[in-house]
Amino acid sequence: MDREMKLVEDMLAQTGHRCNVRVVDSISQGYAKIHSENASRVKDRNALASQLAILEECPVIITRVLRRKGSLLQAAKLLLLSRLIHKTLSQRPDAPPLVDHLKDRLSSLRVKLLRAIDKRFANPEQSVTRLVDDMCAYALAMSSTPSDVMQHFLNVRMRAIQWHLAQDSNTQTHVLKAMRLLLSTLQNSQLLFPKRLSEALLRLKDLPLVKQADVQSVTELRLDIHMRWLTDELRNYTPWPRHDELQKSEADRLIRGWAKSAQKAFVTGLAASLEEICNFDKILEIRQHLFEAWPWTDRRLPGLHSADVVDELREAFNERMAAIVQMQVKELNNVCKMIRGLLRNPGSVSLEEPLWSSSLTDMEVGVGGQYFKNAILSSYNGIQISTSPILVYFDEWISSINQIQADLKKMRDAHWEDDLGVEEEDNEIDSRQTLLSKDDPRILGDCLSKALQNQAKSLSDDFRALLNEVLSETESTNNNGTLGAVTLLRILREIFRRASVQDKILAEVTIPLISTDLITPLHERLSRDMCTKVRGLLSKSLVRLENSPVLAGKALWEGKPPLPIQPSAMVFRLLKEVTGCMADLGADLWSEAAVRAVKNVLSAAIAEELKRTVLNLSTEPKSQVANGDTSRVDGQHDSSSAEGGGNDSKVVEQADGKELRRDKLTQLAMDLTYLNTALSTRSRANLALQELIELVMGRIQLADAEKARVKKSATECWKRTYLLFALLVPEP
């Protein structure tokens, strides 16, 4: 019992010793420290979890905002919050690997955000309010000052203008967008810089970042739960941009400098874009839309003088349209190239297709009457398959020039509304009606006229070169040269005919093509080639006439003394051969000038051949003169009757031969008179034939009355027979 009591007392003594104030306080402090350490670990764990949750959720939300084209300022704030949280977590020694992975993702989102901001900056339809928010987003994303934001905005707009003007397709849309970018930049810059941007940046300082409305509105962040676990640095972080860094004077200087550069870039880019367009109508359409959209009297264009810009734009359009006009006019040079290629390929050239050829008579009815009519006209005019592409190309060229003239008329007829209510002292530029509908069409019209005048000279020179080639070919290859001359004549004729029905300015281009120094050599060449063929026939006929013992057709002579009343068959064969050769080459070739050339060349050739025959018939053969002299000598020294009788027979034969030659000369007088009537022209007399006629009639010693009878008979005979030689009918 005593032992038990003692044990109790010892235990109570120990308990009392342990329960003093100092020990209890130490125990209490120990328990408090343990509780604090546990709470700190819980708080640190919760803070890490909350920050990781926000950091993981922000990239998802930012991606969604960018994809849905939402508020870029909201995306920039979330990106800034993510970067702050990432910085906080990356400073922890126990930072999880996820933090490094999210760093790369945030860098990618930052690039996407800046690209979206640049895209918004490059949109000329963007409102001023949206632009201010986007500029604040750029300032937050790049930690930029207002001057940096302004400089970046202007650079983006400049690149956008240059990009639009560099596009090859849909030029009109891109040019108008580039112009709207230029104008909206200058107009909006005065509203944005520096006041509106400074006020917007200043509003970012009103509240801490996590307490701003557009961050609080993101429910996915669960800020109502996670806010208490964020660090004080994150809860209290407030953006602090330098909102008052940009002064108005500096902003005005930047705007004016950019305006000059943008004006130069726009005009240069516009000129480069127009260089890629070869359609006059398309350029005219772009011109109309651009000047309709241009603010002629808007004063909100710092750094730009409207009159100077309008003049530069007009100059760019006029230069390109003038270049197109000159290029279109010079397309006519291809006609000569096509003709040269045709003439150098003789196998592709032939004479005209007969009007009653099988290709026409056997034409199917189903092809249509118009096609049949065109085929007949082409055959009649000598238009072949080989020459048709040339004429079609020329018709297309005429159509293109007519279209340009129609476009110029459209420019002159266009009505431009001048702005009303503008004070007279502010009218620093001329009326747009005067500039666009009077001055510009006049400049382009003068350019067209000058280009056509130069082209007329160039075309004449080219055809002269073609003429020389054709004439040189005829010296060596007569047939090819003849076909070349025929082809060239027909093409010249068709080109002039097609142009002559156009207006005066187009008709004047082809006037040099019908000049005598171009046409006459071709007519003379054809005439010489044709006369070469018939001259041989005439020469043979005259040889037969000289050697013939009798004169055919003398029995048909009438009157006292008997005289021929019609030409010999030789003349009819000659003229028939001439008209036959003319018809073989093509009846369409023989205009009045061509027939005149044929008559002149043929008259000279006939006179040359017949003069030789006339001289031969006018001179007594040497054998007969010698025999006659011997007879006279023998008759003087020989008195026998037999020899006297022989001399009488020779005298008779000599008399008969002289009479035959006189009859042949008389018939030649009729032939020459008939040919003179047939080959006479109004502009030029056949002096060679007339001189030969006088020579023949002088040799046969015809009286004036007999000469009149021969001339009258030849004239009446020609009136009866000229239809046999229709191509040689005298000029009316």
Beta strands in 2-144 (DSSP E): none
pLDDT digits (tens, 9 = 90+) for 559-605: 888 999 999 999 999 999 999 888 888 877 888 888 888 988 999 89
What phi and psi, each to the nearest 5 degrees, are found at residue 149? Answer: -60, -45
Tokens of 257: 């400098």
Residue 361 clears pLDDT 80, i.e. is over it: no
**CA atoms of 147 and 714, how far apart (whole Å):** 108
> Which amino acid, residue 120?
R
Question: What is the average pLDDT across 686-711?
Answer: 88
Task: Give the single-character DSSP code of 205.
Answer: T
What phi and psi, each to the nearest 5 degrees, are found at residue 68? Answer: -90, 5
Residue 199 clears pLDDT 60, i.e. is over it: yes
pLDDT digits (tens, 9 = 90+) for 373-408: 665 665 555 566 667 788 889 989 999 999 999 999
Question: What is the average pLDDT across 220-247?
Answer: 84
The b-or-e profile of 704-731 (16+ CB within 10 A means b, else e) is: eebbebbbebbeebbeebeeebebbeee
Residue 634 clears pLDDT 90, i.e. is over it: no
**Per the confidence metrics, is the pTM higher than 0.85?**
no
Confidence at residue 451, expressed as pLDDT on a 0 to 100 scale: 93
Is residue 161 within 8 Å of residue 266, measured between CB atoms? yes
How far the first Cα of the chain sits from its last, in Å, is 180
Neighbours of 277 (CB within 10 A): 17
Q: Residue 430, CB half-sphere, CA atoms under 13 Å: how many?
A: 10
Q: Which residues contact 617 (CB under 8 A, 6 or more apart)?
A: 546, 661, 664, 665, 668
Name which of 116-130, 318-332, 523-537, 620-634 the model is least confident about.
Answer: 620-634
- Name the residue with higher pLDDT: 505 or 435: 435
Residue 640 clears pLDDT 50, i.e. is over it: no
Neighbours of 600 (CB within 10 A): 19
pLDDT band at 356 (very low <50, low <70, confident <90, very high): low
pLDDT digits (tens, 9 = 90+) for 154-179: 999 999 999 999 988 888 999 999 99
* Sign of the torsion angle spanned by Cα atoms 530, 535, 540, 544: positive
**CA atoms of 706 and 693, how far apart (whole Å):** 13
Per-range mean pLDDT, top range of 4-13, 614-623, 645-654, 658-667: 658-667
Confidence at residue 629, expressed as pLDDT on a 0 to 100 scale: 44
647, with CB counted inside 10 A (0-12, 13-18, 19+), is: middle
Confidence at residue 148, expressed as pLDDT on a 0 to 100 scale: 93
pLDDT digits (tens, 9 = 90+) for 17-31: 667 677 667 767 777
Determine the 3-state secondary structure of 563 from DSSP: strand
Residue 64 clears pLDDT 80, i.e. is over it: yes
User: What is the average pLDDT score of the chain?
Assistant: 82
Tokens of 469: 């080639």
- For residue 59, is the peptide bond before it cis, meaning its omega torsion is within 30 degrees of 0? no
**CA atoms of 175 and 289, how far apart (whole Å):** 10
Confidence at residue 636, expressed as pLDDT on a 0 to 100 scale: 40
- For residue 194, is the peptide bond before it cis, meaning its omega torsion is within 30 degrees of 0? yes
Tokens of 319: 């230069």
By 3-state DSSP, what share of the chain in percent is helix, strand and coil, each rounded to 5? 80, 0, 20
Residue 321 clears pLDDT 70, i.e. is over it: yes
Residue 422 clears pLDDT 80, i.e. is over it: no
**CA atoms of 351 and 485, how far apart (whole Å):** 11
**CA atoms of 525 and 530, how far apart (whole Å):** 9
User: How would you write 343-412 as a 3-class SS string?
Assistant: HCCHHHCCCCCCCCCHHHHCCCHHHCHHHHHHHHHHHHCCCCCCCHHHHHHHHHHHHHHHHHHHHHHHHH
**CA atoms of 266 and 313, how far apart (whole Å):** 9
pLDDT band at 416 (very low <50, low <70, confident <90, very high): confident
Alpha helices in 414-477 (DSSP H): 432-434, 440-476
Is residue 283 within 8 Å of residue 321, measured between CB atoms? yes
Confidence at residue 530, expressed as pLDDT on a 0 to 100 scale: 84
Confidence at residue 653, expressed as pLDDT on a 0 to 100 scale: 53
Residue 644 clears pLDDT 90, i.e. is over it: no
